[in-house]
Structure 1
Amino acid sequence: MNFADTPVLAGPTVRLEPLAPSHAGDLSDSVAVGDLWRTWSTSIPAPEAMANEIQSRLGKQRDGTMAPWAVVDARTGRAVGMTTYMNIDEPNLRLEIGSTWLGRDAQGTGINPAMKLLLLSRAFDDLSCNAVEFRTHWHNLQSRAAIARLGAKQDGVLRNHKVWHDGTLRDTVVFSIIASEWPAARAALAARVQRHR
């Protein structure tokens, strides 16, 4: 199995579809709500940049470095976000779940834990990963809390890791779940998903 493949992953509330240009309209609408794309502590494409972002992610998939999905609300059939496997390290059975965002209307609906359950299940159960990593901006407190709720442990902070789009320096917080932690994390995530059904 190729780590950059993007099979459809489906649960009761969310469906992850291979990212395609046809998702651009829904995704542009999603980021426009509340000007989500202006959130400074994360990198979300502006509505007019969505088509280019999709092409960029598909180019990385062709190179084998990314597996991009559109996040579709199974109840409405509309694409409400994006997620990827990135920093794919197939020889060492590692990858990062990242470049993820959900539109404001999809936040707090249970889509995020359901999506992460699908992604982590594929990573650990189908691809036999040793570890799955998550990274976020030090100042993105919402993202840090959401990652911790997945059962991921904080590995550390990469200080002055990146020059951010506004010229500031980003400290990157690194989390991971390792294979031995997956059974407990899966049980906790499944219970959270069940509560949102």
Structure 2
Amino acid sequence: MASFSAQNQFCSQAPSMEYAGVRLEQLSLDHAPELIQLAANGQLDEAWFATTPSAESMQADIERRLALQETGAMAPFAIIDLSTGQAVGATSYLNIDVANHRVEIGSTFLAVPAQGTGINPAAKFMLLRRAFEELDCYSVAFCTHWHNTASRAAIARLGAKQDGVLRNHKYDPKTGTLRDTVVFSILPHEWPAVRTQLEARLARHGRI
């Protein structure tokens, strides 16, 4: 088992993982053209409460994630649909807390046509499996905007438990509003049940 305390296990190079027709690979600027095209075609969620990058800001967002990776705070991945070989989104380990064996999974966006296809559960499965089975995490968190009811429901479907709400947690300069952040988590003893239900969901999608 890899050690969580070896921080580069998370951050120096995000490892490629494949499962259920999906590959997670190190995010790079090479993915920018495909992700920019998705945004330009209106295929990314543009809800006011979402933090999905626009076509114009996509390259800067990738550069931001890579800069955070250099500091040890994030490990960003491109989400690849193996049926097409194309990038359909991105996700990350973030807020990596080595001392307390904690990590958050987030900063995720996924092309609208890829939603509901099993790609997101496959990506979450791989990230959770590595966190609990390889890196010995004590807790994996998920955070979302209070008004993002679809995201809250999706996190609950994973089997994550709601820890609470951080009120007036973040200021959004895009809308001039303060965000209430809903915090969920999964603990090691909960992972076997979460794993089983994720596998069942992927089987229903015909992915495994």
TM-score normalised to structure 1 length: 0.96
What is the aligned residue count? 197
> Equivalents in 1 of 2:27, 2:75: separation in Å?
9
Match of 2:83 in 1: 75
Match of 1:167 in 2: 176
> Equivalents in 2 of 1:187, 1:38: separation in Å?
32
Check conservation: 1:69, 1:82, Cα contact below 8 A.
yes
1:138 maps to which of 114, 134, 146: 146
1:148 maps to which of 153, 156, 161: 156
Instruction: Give aligned-pair identity as a percent.
Output: 56
TM-score normalised to structure 2 length: 0.91
Check conservation: 2:44, 2:109, Cα contact below 8 A.
no
Supply the AA of the counterpart residue of 1:61.
Answer: Q
Q: Which runs of 5+ in 2 are unaligned?
A: 1-5
The 5 A counterparts of 1:109-124 are 109-124=117-132
The 5 A counterparts of 1:1-197 are 1=6, 2-4=9-11, 5-34=13-42, 36=44, 38-164=46-172, 165-196=174-205, 197=207
Return 5-14 or 113-122, whichever deviates more. Answer: 5-14
Deviation at 1:52, TM superposition (A): 1.1
What secondary structure, in the 3-state scheme, does the structure 1 residue paired with 2:20 have?
A: coil
What secondary structure, in the 3-state scheme, does the structure 2 residue paired with 1:15 have?
A: strand
Q: Which runs of 5+ in 1 are unaligned?
A: none
- Larger helix proportion, structure 1 or 2? 1
